Amino acid sequence: MSLTIQRDKNEFLYQQVISMIRHMESASTLRPGDRLPSLRQLSEKLSISIPTVKQAYGELERQGLIEARPKSGYFLKPSRYDAKQPKRVSLSQQPENVSRQSLIEKVFDAIQQDGVMPLGVANPSAVHSSDKALARIMRQVISKAGSRAIAYGPMDGYEPLKRQLAIRYLELGLQVDPHEVLVTNGAQEALSIALQCVAQAGDIIAVESPTYFGVLELIESLGMMALEIPLCPEEGVWVSDLASAIEEHEVKACIFSASISNPLGSFMSNETQKEIVELLESKNIPMIEDDVYGDLYFTERRGGSAQLFSKKGLVLSCSSFSKTAAPGYRIGWLLTNRFADKARRLKRAYSCSTSLLNQWTLSEFISSGEYERNMRSLRQGLRRNKDRMTALVHRYFPPGTRVSEPQGGGVLWLELPKGNDSEEIFYRALEHNISICPGSLFSPSDKFSRCIRISFGIPWSGKVENSLQQLGALCHK
Amino acid sequence: MSLTIQRDKNEFLYQQVISMIRHMESASTLRPGDRLPSLRQLSEKLSISIPTVKQAYGELERQGLIEARPKSGYFLKPSRYDAKQPKRVSLSQQPENVSRQSLIEKVFDAIQQDGVMPLGVANPSAVHSSDKALARIMRQVISKAGSRAIAYGPMDGYEPLKRQLAIRYLELGLQVDPHEVLVTNGAQEALSIALQCVAQAGDIIAVESPTYFGVLELIESLGMMALEIPLCPEEGVWVSDLASAIEEHEVKACIFSASISNPLGSFMSNETQKEIVELLESKNIPMIEDDVYGDLYFTERRGGSAQLFSKKGLVLSCSSFSKTAAPGYRIGWLLTNRFADKARRLKRAYSCSTSLLNQWTLSEFISSGEYERNMRSLRQGLRRNKDRMTALVHRYFPPGTRVSEPQGGGVLWLELPKGNDSEEIFYRALEHNISICPGSLFSPSDKFSRCIRISFGIPWSGKVENSLQQLGALCHK
């Protein structure tokens, strides 16, 4: 069916374009996240001028129905739902012993079951898989490397990969000496080594709240205590809360997300990062930043790294390729800053070197330009999925459900109406072959028992929509 | 030149064969580790009867010049040198804080330098590299796996690999539930997780002396103390020493080699293993066995595992593919016994899952039979190299040098005459582009400052002989 407008002399042409778009949206012809025709396309199809289309799109943007994305065009927004973000939690002033491990285990078991819709796993790279490019490059590396394809790599990482990473940091404005890059078995090992560089059993570690459960499990395994600092959905860690927390407690180190947090998907601006680093370094408190989602931003630019603002060298940064390219290669890295020697020794003692072939392949994946190309498509795909899933949450979940507006990453954070319990929903969803992450995992103090985390980092299909519908029906109104 | 004997009426024929072999040996036509012609071949070449050749070989065997190896034939032995094994050290009854890290770092730096003869690294699989078979299998797996080639694997390991490992243990007489196999980033991570399952900072850990420095570095990193139990070159850990050590100290756990130790290459019999496990379990002390060299035996059969004798489930076993197939794949495993839950949780907290593609490839490498085939050739190659290198040590090192007689693995352990210092030799050798491992690394109490470890796990070449000659010349008489 070709595009038409009902020409009506009582309305301006641009208003008739608006009516047409609104009609298509209410008929679900256009869905949240869909791209609208370009100015030129619509002008040609409707035989009206480009300025008229532009006027219509501008008005729709002001009304909040669509949004312009630089270099990508206009897209239907999900914000018509008048959604509210999950509430900021109050500051807990008590360090907590952590004990989340048995529930985490159940969540991972659930993901591994055949036929289960994996909304519980954060695996965003699946949205635009780089498997074919990586397969091609790895085959080349195997041929080229000969016996080196199975050989021990250097203890602290494959030099060309470290150089590629240093080049990428240059784009962030960060000058990194390859010697300060320690390649690890994924970001989790980077976090583990970083934390053991700066703290020991019994120490208090400040974490954002809600925080990634892998951070809490690590703190638990090392016999440390977690002190929760509320995360503001819009701005990241609240500096005033952090200031009063370190005033009151002997905080030995902090673990915060860099620019994009998990599960909230909040964006921490460079200004906030700077304030936090200055505050912490003034008290000689090391900060570990978890930057695994930093490249998966939906904002106009990538957020920075707290490294940029470190003057005393107390910031350690962890990242990996697990969210952007190849989860199963298990390649991450740690910017060790002034802890280079200790970090290298811990790495050697705990797991020796890291898979050389996997590092080599990723190094060529970056230097060939494939990584960057793939990431652009991945970001677009994730953003589209985020809009689609947000719309489905509003359609299928009970009124009063709050949903995050992630600025990057691959997950939505939902706060369900009173009367819901996230662990109960986890078990009931599993009976319907749907895995989710119960909110109680993301805090040592059971702050988020009404929240769940669901992943939009999955290839889209009708089954996803069905699962969201089922999941929404499981929640109490 | 065809084989001939100087027929002499004053000698029996078999004696003339003996003279011929001795002549070829002293002229270096035959070298230690070389295979002699078979009975049939020599009988044909010399036109004498098979029983005559057999009589000659039997006499040479009694004289200690050659040895018969089942199904392989007769080989020239290096034992004409009247070598003595390094001496057993006395029992140190004091737990020691460990501090070896900066020297270890220098040793690893040395190995990575271009053009350095890597006698300092234990990399036995290089003697018969499986790179071509693994390359072929990995290419197949990449094609077959599609997007799964880059996906997260299960937290505790790829199921088919765990099954293959369980099948291999069956041959040892050990029934292993795949659930008790935890796949890790190499054996070092297995050791690290095992140790953290059973002990914590401040605890006393009994280790064999000399012991692999990676064990000492791990103990140091975890803030534990090492108590050295002397290792007998012929029999492994001395049970009486162990008994008195645990009588006197509160030993929290032990880390011992399984059947083949590093650096001594001693062989621990099943009887000794049984005694040790019974002693330890009677005191509820867990034992961690490091079994990375178990498959590289030169004895008639593979040694067993201490697991065989565990009645209380307190034995944890660590191993990997790093010494037998693919060091750079970083795939090891831990038999968790009754610590399965804790081990799995620590693994998840410290590094999540392990590279799926690498596990998958190794799984098919085993199931195709290639692993076993490759290992047979590898064992033969290592044994040949061991004989060659032992002979060179006797030729080029100062009188009074003692050398181990390893029953497996890939390294020789040398005790140099008085007046030598292993760290000094390490630095001087490096000036000649030769890396070695100084003995002081293998004890927290500087017991082995006159010892060095050198690797015969390298592809043989004239350069190896030159390096041994240079190295011997560096040592004080």
**A233 HSE (CA, 13 A, CB side):** 15
| DSSP code per residue over A290-309 | E-TTTTSB-SSS----GGGG
Secondary structure element (H or E) that encloses residue A287, with its range:
strand A287-290
- Report the pLDDT averaged over residues B156-163: 95
pTM score, two decimals? Answer: 0.83
Phi–psi pair at A159, nearest 5 degrees: -55, -50
The predicted pLDDT at position B16 comes to 86
Closest CA to A224 of B364, B200, B87: B200
Q: Is the predicted pLDDT of residue B407 greater than 90, yes or no?
A: yes
**Band (B68; pLDDT cuts 50, 70, 90):** confident
Sequence ranges of chain A with CATH classification 3.90.1150.10: 98-126+377-474
Measured CA distances, A404 to A232, A471, B261 (Å): 11, 17, 56
Nearest-CA distance A81 → chain B (Å): 35
Residue B280 in this model has a pLDDT that exceeds 60: yes
Q: Which part of chain A has CATH 3.40.640.10?
A: 130-371
Q: Which CATH architecture has domain B98-126+378-474?
A: Alpha-Beta Complex (3.90)
Nearest CA in chain B to A155: B108
What pLDDT sits at residue A82?
A: 40
CB pairs under 8 A between A and B: 187
Q: What integer is the mean pLDDT of B372-387?
A: 96
For residue B184, which residues of chain A lie inside 8 Å, CB to CB?
A: 351
| Domain A98-126+377-474 homologous superfamily, CATH | Aspartate Aminotransferase, domain 1 (3.90.1150.10)
- B129-371 — its CATH code? 3.40.640.10
Listed in sequence order, the DSSP H helices in A32-185 are 39-46, 50-62, 101-112, 131-145, 159-171
Q: Is there a contact between B150 and A221 if contact means CB atoms under 8 Å apart?
A: no
Q: Which residues of B touch A126 (CB under 8 A)?
A: 147, 151
CATH of B13-77, one of 3.40.50.300, 1.10.10.10, 2.160.10.10, 3.40.50.150: 1.10.10.10
Query: Are the Cβ atoms of B357 and A108 closer than 8 angstroms?
Result: no
A interface test, pick of B350, B359, B371, B435 with most A CB neighbours within 10 Å: B350
C-alpha B238 chain-centroid distance: 19
Residues 60-79 of B with CB under 8 A from A: none
In chain B, which among 353-382 make CB contacts under 8 A with chain A?
Answer: 353-358
Q: Is the pLDDT of residue B15 over 90?
A: no
For residue A37, give both structure tokens: 């025709």
pLDDT of residue B232: 84
- Closest by Cα among B183, B219, B187, B218 to B347: B183
Give the B window 119-148 contacts with A, CB below 8 Å: 121, 123, 125-126, 129-131, 134-135, 138-139, 142-143, 146-148
Q: Are residues A217 and A101 in contact, defined by beta-carbon separation less than 8 angstroms?
A: yes
pLDDT of residue B448: 92
- pLDDT over 80 at A185, yes or no: yes
The class (CATH top level) of A130-371 is alpha beta
Q: Distance between CA B124 and CA B382 in Å, rounded?
A: 7
B99 touches chain A (CB under 8 A): no
Question: What pLDDT score was predicted for residue A16?
Answer: 86
pLDDT at B415: 95
pLDDT at A229: 92
Confidence label for B88 from pLDDT (cuts 50, 70 and 90):
low
Which neighbouring-strand residues pair with B377? none
CB A152 to CB B327 under 8 A? yes
Tell how strand A434-435 and strand A117-118 pair up: parallel
Predicted pLDDT at B464:
95
Percentage of chain A lying above the pLDDT 70 cut: 92
What is the structure's pLDDT at B80? 40
How many Å lie between the alpha carbon of B354 and the closest alpha carbon of chain A?
Answer: 6
Instruction: Nearest chain B residue to A127 by CA: give it.
Output: B147
d(CA B190, CA B183): 8
What ipTM score was computed for the predicted complex, to two decimals? 0.83
Say whether B349 and A214 touch across the interface (CB within 8 A): yes
Residue A365 predicted with pLDDT over 90: yes
How does pLDDT run across A420-434, given as a tens digit for each residue?
Answer: 999 999 999 999 999
CA-to-CA distance for B240 and B269, rounded, in angstroms?
16
pLDDT at B1: 40
Looking at the predicted structure, is the pLDDT value of residue B83 above 50? no
Of A391-405, B203-217, B224-238, B333-347, give the lowest mean pLDDT range: B224-238
Quickly state the pLDDT bin for B114 (edges 50, 70, 90): confident
Lowest mean pLDDT among A135-144, B233-242, B374-383: B233-242
Query: Would you state the pLDDT for residue B64?
Result: 77
Could you read off the pLDDT of A149-183 as tens digits, one per residue?
999 999 999 999 999 999 999 888 899 988 899 99
Query: Within an 8 Å CB–CB cutoff, is residue A218 touching chain B?
Result: yes
pLDDT digits (tens, 9 = 90+) for A257-313: 999 999 999 999 999 999 999 999 999 999 999 999 999 999 989 999 999 999 999
d(CA B263, CA B327): 18
How far apart (Å, rounded) are the C-alpha atoms in residues B384 and A129?
48
- Let me know how long chain A is: 477
Residue ranges matching CATH 1.10.10.10 in chain B: 13-77
pLDDT of residue A27: 67
Distance from CA of A475 to the nearest CA of B (A): 29
pLDDT over 90 (residue B236): no
**φ, ψ for residue B257, nearest 5 deg:** -65, 155
Nearest to A233 by CA among A256, A215, A209: A209
Name the average pLDDT for chain A.
90
Q: How confident is the model over B157-165, as a mean pLDDT?
A: 95
Q: What is the mean pLDDT of residues B89-98?
A: 61
Give the DSSP letter string of B162-215. HHHHHHHHHHTT----GGGEEEESHHHHHHHHHHHHH--TT-EEEEEES--HHH
Residues A304-330 have pLDDT tens digits of 999 999 999 999 999 999 999 999 999
DSSP B296: S
Q: Min CA distance, B146 vs chain A (Å)? A: 7
Asked if A325's CB is within 8 angstroms of B150's CB, the reply is: yes
Q: List, as ranges, residues 329-358 from A with C-beta within 8 Å of B.
A: 329-330, 344-346, 348-358
Stretch(es) of chain B classified as CATH 3.90.1150.10: 98-126+378-474
- Give CA–CA dist A61/A57, Å, rounded: 6
* Predicted confidence (pLDDT) per residue in B318-348, tens digit: 999 999 999 999 999 999 999 999 999 999 9
pLDDT confidence tier of residue B97, bands split at 50, 70 and 90: low
HEC profile of B314-369: CEEEEEECCCCCCHHHCCEEEECHHHHHHHHHHHHHHHCCCCHHHHHHHHHHHHCC
- Selected residue with higher pLDDT from B40 and B397: B397
